[in-house]
A = this chain, B = another copy of it.
């Protein structure tokens, strides 16, 4: 149960998601199980499914809920987890990943979902969808369980690029604010710039410069800038969006995941320790399930590629059917809110307004925030 905005009430048209059936650790059967699960829950969902024709036809035929709602696009090549992005950029044509992105490029589908190799997916997305005007480095944004009322914070970049200069960090702030508005339904998201605690350490030149730049664009970008935040604020409630470079963001993400998973393991060990604790764990089953649901990474599965002409959701490579279904849900919500177009408009208008500054923000009259 995520607190992501429920858009199913706002329309009844079909929403087409382009799904890469290959490249995940658990194979196409898991992907088909995941999209079936989503299809059962949401009648507006339709799919374009990419991969080897015969295999997919057999899998889809077994799921009655996908009848007439899932079109198969034949693509025999598979991008493996070991393939280097540079190789995939040269030889990726004919793979299910390429075909998945092509459907978004051709406007046949609104959002792409893939469990495949992150580096390759970003590289192909850059050459097939191309960067939005005004964006130098696209970013990968994720949702992180937090103490905030919405239940999650947005963090970006978590690994699209290890470098980020002050201008890139400003773009991340704008894109992250837009994502939080559309994905978490926050009118005026609070943005924090990740740094280390001690005053004396606030020394990285690009962070000081980004601090100024992001602060200057708070009004135009319709967000609140809370300034520097620390690692402890990622799951905290001081801000809604954490902006950082892809190196730091990736380390933070994996450290948090690893710590959560270690605690989960130790919790299981603790409960298996004695007959009394095993009894307690039976009684606590519902409570523990509730907790698990709240912080289960499968339920917030999906890094979103921001800054491209088209939205791409990267599902975890090891995702099971629940994970795939969560990624599809996120893709649906972003498609249904028109997120891609609104993000593009926001980035373009901010770039323009920044040039024209100190002119007054002239899109305040838009009925919907972008």
A77 at the interface (CB under 8 A from B): no
Return chain B residues, CB-CB under 8 Å to A189: none
Q: Cα distance A230–B197 when bound, in Å?
A: 23
Cβ 8 A contact of A199, one of B84, B234, B266: B84
Assess whether B295 is in contact with A246, with CB atoms less than 8 Å apart. Answer: no
Q: Cα distance A123–B201 when bound, in Å?
A: 12
A67 at the interface (CB under 8 A from B): no
CB-CB under 8 A for A197 and B250, given A233-B258, A280-B283, A283-B277? yes
Return chain B residues, CB-CB under 8 Å to A255: 231-232, 234-235, 252, 255-256, 259
A interface with B by C-beta (< 8 Å): 84-86, 118-119, 123, 145-147, 159, 161-162, 194, 196-201, 203-204, 230-236, 244, 246-248, 250-263, 265-267, 269-271, 273-274, 276-277, 279-284, 286-288, 290-291, 294-295
Assess whether B258 is in contact with A200, with CB atoms less than 8 Å apart. Answer: no
Return chain B residues, CB-CB under 8 Å to A287: 270-271, 273-274, 277, 280-281
* Top 3 A-B residue pairs of the complex, sorted by shortest distance between their CB atoms: A231-B254, A280-B283, A280-B284
Return chain B residues, CB-CB under 8 Å to A251: 194, 196, 230-231, 244, 248, 251-252
In whole Å, how far is A147's beta carbon from the nearest beta carbon of chain B? Answer: 6
Assess whether A259 is in contact with B259, with CB atoms less than 8 Å apart. Answer: yes
Assess whether A254 is in contact with B270, with CB atoms less than 8 Å apart. Answer: no
Assess whether B235 is in contact with A254, with CB atoms less than 8 Å apart. Answer: no
Give the oligomeric copy count: 2
Cβ 8 A contact of A162, one of B84, B204, B252, B288: B204
Return chain B residues, CB-CB under 8 Å to A84: 199-200
CB-CB under 8 A for A266 and B294, given A201-B246, A276-B283? yes
Return chain B residues, CB-CB under 8 Å to A253: 231
Q: Cα distance A233–B261 when bound, in Å?
A: 11
Q: Cα distance A119–B197 when bound, in Å?
A: 9
In whole Å, how far is A269's beta carbon from the nearest beta carbon of chain B? Answer: 8
15 A-B contacts (beta carbon < 8 Å): A118-B198, A119-B201, A231-B257, A232-B261, A233-B258, A234-B255, A251-B251, A259-B259, A266-B294, A267-B291, A270-B291, A273-B287, A274-B287, A280-B284, A284-B284
Return chain B residues, CB-CB under 8 Å to A204: 162, 247
Residue of B nearest to A82 (CB): B199
Assess whether A256 is in contact with B254, with CB atoms less than 8 Å apart. Answer: no
